[in-house]
């Protein structure tokens, strides 16, 4: 075999991975094309996760490859501060033209985590610039995932991601999550029950006084916690409470952005307009690290008031708007346009929904959820061994030629948006076999 298997696995400390278990029996991917990965032992693996929710247009897309290569030839890097290059501006115009409402300004980062930190900092600085420096509290939600940096971890609500790291940011509070199988199990699309959970925000306003709260951040559809959909009316209610109290609403669309829900963004899908949106992943189809924060006119314009020679926002990254990342993003948008992926007009979402829900009645399946091209299969945990059943399903699926993601005892599915019915059939066939065979 060619040099695809490193001899020594010990040097690389892998992220969010059981390192010792992995290194006992590594799962290496060595190539990718369209809907498939190739494993190191030469098998075709159907990509049920679009990488990590990021390769929305599938793999090895020619326009992206060419754009990245051309940009490398022309200009590899340009300083991000006090200098610009054309692709940054072109990309910003194109992105904001897709963004609904007046989210007309975009700040570049290199990941979803950095987009979240940036959005939280913009929120605090906005209020201060507005003469409301007392608004310093940030509100998140249980089970929320907003990346792994200190701000995102603090507003996030994944216990395992938080417990090792001390006190985190002060002045953060959380609403309850909206996951409720007792009322909503096996719902197709948005659940009926739970809009009233948004009133947690009102309670937190009463507890802390609303004038101390800067922003609320939520994933419109929570991905990492296992695909938790917003109950009907929930996001609308959050928006209303934020408006009543002068609180900014941030949608973390790192997963839901770029066509995942059948619309360009979740904002379009749910019809609720936030003040800021964070994005990453599908922005470059996963090829080159890049994230972004979209801000409304209201927010952006407050910053543009001081002396003209003054830096308005003391924040940014060496790689903000990196030319190669911008080239990848522009070509990604072209690819989405070519294939109509931001708003697939055929019946794929319906086909996907029916396929996911065809697993009802399969052994250990206690819930099925779907929206756009996202699906979740929730399994009854093995008594005393939570997460074990879903992880066995993940391992077995990989053996059978399907890549899925698991979190807790939930299997999350988010294949590339180029998926066709034959792929859906294959995915469900493998998954159903796996669920029947594992303990």
Q: Is residue 411 classed as helix, strand or coil in its secondary structure? A: strand
Residue 55 binding ligand PXG, by CB under 6 A: no
Residue 147 binding ligand PXG, by CB under 6 A: yes
| Residues contacting residue 15 through CB under 8 Å, at least 6 positions apart | none
Give 85 or 143: the residue with its C-beta nearer to ligand PXG: 143
Out of 46, 80, 216, 280, the residue judged to bind ligand PXG by CB under 6 A: 280
CB atoms within 10 A of CB 416: 26
Residue 237 binding ligand PXG, by CB under 6 A: no
CA distance 124 to 121: 5
Residue 292 binding ligand PXG, by CB under 6 A: no
Out of 36, 126, 145, 270, the residue judged to bind ligand PXG by CB under 6 A: 145
CA distance 209 to 112: 30
Residue 112 binding ligand PXG, by CB under 6 A: yes
Residue 391 binding ligand PXG, by CB under 6 A: no
Residue 432 · residue 359 · CB < 8 Å: yes
Out of 39, 88, 113, 154, the residue judged to bind ligand PXG by CB under 6 A: 113
Q: Which of 189, 200, 261 is nearest to 229 (CA)?
A: 189
According to DSSP, residue 268 is labeled H
Region near ligand PXG per CB under 6 A, out of 62-70, 180-188, 216-224, 347-355: 216-224
CB of 161 to ligand PXG, least distance (A): 11
Q: Which of 324, 283, 286 is nearest to 77 (CA)?
A: 324
Residue 369 binding ligand PXG, by CB under 6 A: no
Residue 389 binding ligand PXG, by CB under 6 A: no
Q: Are strands 172-175 and 405-407 parallel, antiparallel or unpaired?
A: unpaired
| Residues contacting residue 67 through CB under 8 Å, at least 6 positions apart | 327, 328, 330, 331
CB of 52 to ligand PXG, least distance (A): 4
> Residue 377: beta bridge partners?
368, 411
Element (H, E) at 396: helix 388-400
CA atoms within 13 A on the CB side of 108: 28
CB of 220 to ligand PXG, least distance (A): 9
Residue 106 binding ligand PXG, by CB under 6 A: no
Q: How many residues bind ligand PXG (CB under 6 A)?
A: 18
Residue 259 binding ligand PXG, by CB under 6 A: no
Give 210 or 394: the residue with its C-beta nearer to ligand PXG: 394
Region near ligand PXG per CB under 6 A, out of 5-13, 140-148, 203-211, 381-389: 140-148
Give 47 or 85: the residue with its C-beta nearer to ligand PXG: 47
Residue 398 · residue 325 · CB < 8 Å: no
Out of 117, 142, 219, 268, the residue judged to bind ligand PXG by CB under 6 A: 219
Positions of E strands within 351-403: 365-371, 374-379, 402-403
Out of 71, 111, 296, 322, the residue judged to bind ligand PXG by CB under 6 A: 111
Give the x-and-dash track for 33-52 against ligand PXG (CB under 6 A).
-------------------x
Residue 222 · residue 187 · CB < 8 Å: no
Residues that bind ligand PXG (CB under 6 A): 52-53, 111-113, 116, 145-147, 219, 223-224, 252, 254-255, 280, 405, 407
């Amino acid at each position: 075999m060619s040099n695809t298997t490193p001899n020594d696995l010990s040097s690389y400390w892998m992220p969010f991975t059981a390192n010792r278990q992995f290194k006992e029996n590594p799962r290496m991917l060595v190539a990718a094309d369209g809907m498939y990965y190739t494993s190191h032992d030469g098998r075709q693996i159907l990509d049920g996760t679009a990488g990590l929710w990021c390769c929305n247009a599938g793999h090895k897309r020619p326009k992206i490859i060419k754009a990245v290569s051309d940009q490398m030839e022309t200009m590899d890097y340009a300083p991000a501060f006090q200098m610009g290059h054309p692709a940054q501006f072109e990309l910003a115009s194109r992105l904001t033209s897709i963004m609904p409402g007046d989210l007309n300004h975009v700040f570049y980062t290199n990941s979803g985590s950095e987009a979240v930190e940036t959005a939280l900092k913009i929120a605090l600085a906005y209020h201060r610039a507005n003469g409301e420096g007392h608004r310093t509290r940030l509100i998140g939600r249980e089970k929320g995932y907003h990346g792994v940096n200190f701000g995102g971890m603090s507003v996030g609500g994944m216990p395992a991601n938080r417990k090792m790291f001390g006190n985190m940011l002060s002045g953060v509070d959380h609403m309850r999550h909206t996951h409720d199988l007792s009322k909503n199990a096996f719902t197709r699309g948005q659940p009926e029950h739970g809009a009233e959970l948004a009133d947690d925000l009102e309670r937190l306003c009463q507890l802390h006084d609303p004038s101390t709260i800067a922003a609320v951040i939520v994933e419109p559809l929570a991905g990492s916690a296992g695909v938790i959909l917003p109950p009907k009316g929930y996001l609308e209610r959050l928006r209303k409470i934020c408006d009543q109290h002068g609180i900014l609403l941030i949608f973390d669309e790192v997963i839901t952005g770029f066509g995942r829900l059948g619309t360009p963004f979740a904002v379009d899908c749910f019809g609720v307009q936030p003040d800021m949106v964070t994005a990453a992943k599908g922005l470059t189809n996963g090829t080159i690290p890049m994230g972004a924060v979209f801000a409304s006119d209201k927010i952006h314009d407050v910053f543009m008031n001081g002396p003209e020679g003054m830096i308005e926002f003391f924040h940014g990254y060496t790689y903000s708007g990196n030319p190669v990342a911008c080239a990848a993003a522009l070509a990604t948008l072209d690819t989405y346009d070519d294939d109509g992926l931001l708003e697939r007009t055929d019946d794929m979402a319906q086909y996907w929904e029916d396929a996911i829900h065809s697993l009802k009645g399969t052994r250990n399946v206690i819930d099925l959820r779907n929206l756009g091209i996202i699906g979740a299969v929730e399994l009854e945990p093995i008594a005393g061994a939570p997460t074990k059943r879903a992880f066995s399903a993940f391992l077995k699926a990989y053996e059978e030629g399907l890549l899925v993601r698991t979190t807790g005892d939930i299997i999350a599915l988010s294949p590339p948006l180029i998926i066709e019915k034959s792929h859906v059939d294959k995915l469900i066939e493998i998954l159903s076999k796996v669920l029947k065979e594992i303990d």
